Amino acid sequence: MANAWMPEAGRVKCTFAAGGRFLGGAPRAVWRTTETDPRVLSARSVAQRLDGDGHSAHLVWNPLHGDVAQLLPATAPAGGQLCPPPGTDSRSVPVDASADPACEGRICLIIVVIGRADEPFTDGPLAGAGALLRWLDSWGVPPCWPGGTPPPATGPRPAPAEAWSRGGHFGASQVPGCPDRGPGAIDTGLLLGSASAGAGSAAPPSVRPLLTPALPAPLYPAEHSDNGAPPSSYAARY
């Protein structure tokens, strides 16, 4: 039986119910990017920030250092997360599962990758990818990309309805109605191959570099001080 919590992931408590319910059908995984630098942010800090801003996902992954944080079990949909109204806090938006792509399929697992869409994360280390892909596989997500390779970071390009109805992996830019432009033109074969190749073991916490807070990026806007440095309240959130 598949584990609702990825064994290798650290847990970050999600303080609100994302909402909705899975509607059944082919299982799928959706990949997003934070538009931030993986050299300076940990998976846990981004997951905590997501939750603090009223957003969620199943996994947050730093492909440079291999750390993974999990906010939701696989059995709970991240309702309202793929197509939220601009500038809204998801906690205040009711979820209509029948019109929510995050609720489609027996499962729809959302993976937030710390990285930038115009710098495809498969161009660098894929630390921890093997364990992550094997967990997705344990939930029946087929090792294929029905919509093809995600487009370059020029904006969303939804996959055809027939492709979206099939199980497999999708970039957020390929999800109907999702405004994301990520994850960019990643090498899908290289990513999926990491599951069988055993590539990218996560570094143990004791040898991971100390991650320092960075200035906020578009997906996670925050206040700035006059001199451009993050104020103490921002640093405390990481």
Query: What is the mean predicted confidence (pLDDT) over 121-133?
Result: 97
pTM: 0.81
**Nearest by Cα to 93 from 13, 18, 176:** 18
pLDDT score of 94 more than 80: no
Cβ neighbours of residue 105 closer than 8 Å, sequence gap 6 or more? 22, 23, 24, 25, 26, 27, 28, 167
Is the distance from CB of 214 to CB of 222 less than 8 angstroms? no
Cis peptide leading into 183, omega within 30 of 0?
A: yes
pLDDT score of 212 more than 50: no
First and final CA of the chain: distance in angstroms? 35
Residue showing tokens 């994850």: 183
Model confidence at 217, pLDDT cuts 50, 70, 90, reads very low
H/E stretch holding 205 reads: none
CB-facing half-sphere around the CA of 185: CA atoms within 13 A:
5
The whole-angstrom separation of Cα 66 and Cα 126 is 7
Percent of the chain with pLDDT over 90: 61
